[in-house]
Every structure is written in structure tokens, then in C-alpha cells.
């Protein structure tokens, strides 16, 4: 279907899960003089923005605690900035500058660093291989994942086993990966 054009690679969902990798994301906020942190004040100004379950993960400053699990949409730092109120903000005491976990994966907070006015939250995630990730072989061949297909929709070999990776055969000689050609012929 054109998904392996040039250096495109199609993988199965099973391969995607086995190719899971660890990532460290740093979320930071600079708390300037006209800004403040605080869970109670934030929830009073923005009712419903932080759920009760989310609030249990935060300390009294509204910063997530080390070791907590974060889910997509969780607030990890409640920060407000004092501003001249607009018509919409007349009832509020500041502009919302909170930091929200916007990744589609859950993660674990590994560290919270407060350095003067800067707050940095480190979150570790485990993410399966996905479209746009790059894969490399032992001989310098590389490509980008263009699709992740359910195992049952992948082509089958002679024994009925689903393939896990589909490469474009013209990508091997086109990239002049002679070691790969020789290894295949020796196998």
C-alpha cells in the first residue's frame, strides 16, 4: 500500500510493544516575581481544573510529588501569573500558567528540582515504537516507521506466522548495505 516507499518500515503491534523504549521528559516552569504557586489558591481560582485524584498527587505548592504516576491531562505544577484582568478574568486573581502533562503516555515522576525560581519535574515514560520513530539495522540501514499494523493483518510466512517488520527490498541495494546482502546470503 505504499507504506514501505524508499526507507519506510511497517511493523506489527507485537513488534511495537517489544521495541518499547524509556524516555525522560523535563517539564519546567520559571516562577517570576508576578507569579505564584499554591494548590489552594489555584483551585479557588480555577475550580474543576485539578481533580481530587490529581490534587492528591500534588504538594501544598501545587507541584507533583516524586514517585507519583502522571496520566495524560494531569496538572503537574499549578502556577498563576498576576496580570491586569481582562473581561474574562475579572473574577480570577491571575492568569493560568500551570504545567499539564500533555503526552499520550503515563509516566512516573523521578525527580522534582527547585532551583531558586525554577521548578523542574522529571518524568520517566515507557513508550512503544510508533509512527515516526527511526529503526536501524546492524549495517547502517535505517528507516522511519510509517505504520503499525495489527498482528492479524500482517502478511504471513509459509508456516502461517505473522511478519514483524516489512522493509522495502529496493532499500538494501539502494543504500549499498553490502554487509547486509552478504549476511543474508550466508544465512
Dump pLDDT digits (tens) for 29-64. Answer: 999 888 889 999 999 988 889 999 999 999 999 999
The Cα 146–Cα 16 span in angstroms is 12
The Cα 27–Cα 70 span in angstroms is 12
| Residue numbers in the chain where pLDDT is lower than 70 | 85-94, 171-177
The Cα 123–Cα 125 span in angstroms is 7
State residue 176's pLDDT score.
Answer: 60
State residue 141's pLDDT score.
Answer: 75
Q: What is the DSSP letter of 163?
A: P
State residue 24's pLDDT score.
Answer: 95
Q: Taking the alpha carbons of 172, 173, 176, 179 in that order, is the dihedral positive or negative?
A: positive
The Cα 130–Cα 51 span in angstroms is 30
Q: Which residues contact 129 (CB under 8 A, 6 or more apart)?
A: 11, 15, 16, 19, 20, 21, 135, 145, 148
Q: Which residues contact 58 (CB under 8 A, 6 or more apart)?
A: 39, 50, 64, 65, 75, 78
Q: Are 43 and 79 in contact (CB under 8 A)?
A: no
State residue 182's pLDDT score.
Answer: 79
Amino acid at each position: 500500500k505504499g507504506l514501505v516507499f524508499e526507507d519506510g518500515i511497517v511493523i506489527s503491534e507485537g513488534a511495537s510493544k517489544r521495541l518499547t523504549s524509556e524516555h525522560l521528559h523535563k517539564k519546567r516552569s520559571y516562577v517570576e516575581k508576578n507569579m505564584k504557586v499554591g494548590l489552594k489558591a489555584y483551585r479557588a481560582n480555577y475550580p474543576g481544573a485539578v481533580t481530587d485524584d490529581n490534587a492528591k498527587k500534588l504538594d501544598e505548592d501545587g507541584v507533583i510529588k516524586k514517585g507519583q504516576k502522571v496520566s495524560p491531562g494531569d496538572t503537574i505544577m499549578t502556577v498563576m501569573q498576576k496580570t491586569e484582568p481582562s473581561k474574562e478574568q475579572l473574577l480570577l486573581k491571575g492568569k493560568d500558567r500551570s504545567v499539564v502533562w500533555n503526552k499520550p503516555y503515563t509516566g512516573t515522576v523521578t525527580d522534582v528540582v527547585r532551583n531558586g525560581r525554577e521548578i523542574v519535574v522529571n518524568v520517566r515514560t515507557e513508550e512503544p515504537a510508533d509512527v515516526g520513530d527511526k529503526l536501524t539495522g546492524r549495517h547502517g540501514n535505517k528507516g522511519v516507521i510509517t505504520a503499525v499494523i495489527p498482528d492479524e493483518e500482517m502478511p504471513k510466512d509459509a508456516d502461517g506466522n505473522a511478519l514483524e517488520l516489512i522493509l522495502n527490498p529496493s532499500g538494501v541495494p539502494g543504500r549499498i548495505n553490502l554487509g547486509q546482502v552478504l549476511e543474508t546470503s550466508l544465512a
